[in-house]
């Protein structure tokens, strides 16, 4: 069984990452924070929101399959009710890694989507935040990693 730390290391070793569920209004939205940090750390990061043309001043894609050249991994920062559709898209497109973000009391973890993704051979991290792990971590997120559990790989 893969540990969360091992799955996180593999996920963050990918260079082309989509963040599904970024918001047009970035205030207080974890997906936008993740998007901005990945971009600042040199990742090729793609914003995905079916209702936005731009996010954080960058082009935003309406779906995963609209991203030119595809991606290697997806951070899911949608409402949990929308997570299953994103996982289904990942399966259909052959994307092998997904991270269901869990920020505070809200989050994207949907147990049925976790099972479906893993049954299809995907590496699915269910919970926590990519910013808790190197090379994207900051001090606050490292502290969160020490005090928060709840992620499975």
Q: How far is CA 31 from each of CA 3, 18, 42, 134, 146, rounded to the nearest angstrom?
A: 23, 10, 17, 18, 21
Please check the confidence at residue 19 and state whether its pLDDT lies above 90: yes
Q: In this predicted structure, what is the pLDDT of residue 42?
A: 95
Assigned token pair, 70: 């595809």
E strands, the chain, in order:
16-20, 44-48, 54-55, 58-61, 73-76, 97-100, 102-103, 106-107, 123-126
Residue 152 counted as domain residue? no
Residue 105 counted as domain residue? yes
Q: How is residue 152 annotated by DSSP? A: B
Q: In this predicted structure, what is the pLDDT of residue 73?
A: 98
- How many Å apart are CA 59 and CA 4, to the nearest integer? 31
Residue 116 counted as domain residue? yes
Assigned token pair, 112: 């049925």
Residue 53 counted as domain residue? yes
Lookup result for tokens 């939205």 = 29
Please check the confidence at residue 144 and state whether its pLDDT lies above 70: no
Q: What is the average pLDDT score of the chain?
A: 88
Contacts of 141 (CB under 8 A, 6+ apart): 129, 131, 132
pLDDT one-digit tens code per residue, 88-132: 999 999 999 999 998 766 689 999 999 999 999 999 999 888 888
- Burial code of 8-29, b = ≥16 C-beta within 10 A, e = fewer? bebbbebeebbbbbbbeeeeeb
Residue 153 counted as domain residue? no
Residue 57 counted as domain residue? yes
pLDDT one-digit tens code per residue, 121-140: 999 999 888 888 766 666 55
Residue 52 counted as domain residue? yes
Per the structure, the count of domains in the chain is: 1
What is the CATH classification number for the domain harbouring 76? 3.40.50.720
Q: Tell me the residue range of the domain where 56 lies.
A: 4-147
Residue 136 counted as domain residue? yes
């Amino acid at each position: 069984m893969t540990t969360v730390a091992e799955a996180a290391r593999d996920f963050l070793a990918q260079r082309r990452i989509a963040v599904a569920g970024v918001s047009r209004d970035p205030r207080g939205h974890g997906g936008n924070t993740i998007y901005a940090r990945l971009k600042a750390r040199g990742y090729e990061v793609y914003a995905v929101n079916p209702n936005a043309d731009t996010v954080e001043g960058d082009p935003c894609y309406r779906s995963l399959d609209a991203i030119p050249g595809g991606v290697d991994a997806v951070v899911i920062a949608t409402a949990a009710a929308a997570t299953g559709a994103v996982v289904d898209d990942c399966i259909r497109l052959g994307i092998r890694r997904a991270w269901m973000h869990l920020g505070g009391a809200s989050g994207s973890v949907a147990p049925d989507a976790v099972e479906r993704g893993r049954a299809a051979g995907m590496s699915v991290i269910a919970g926590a935040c990519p910013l808790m792990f190197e090379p994207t971590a900051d001090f606050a997120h490292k502290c969160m990693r020490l005090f928060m559990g709840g992620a499975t790989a």
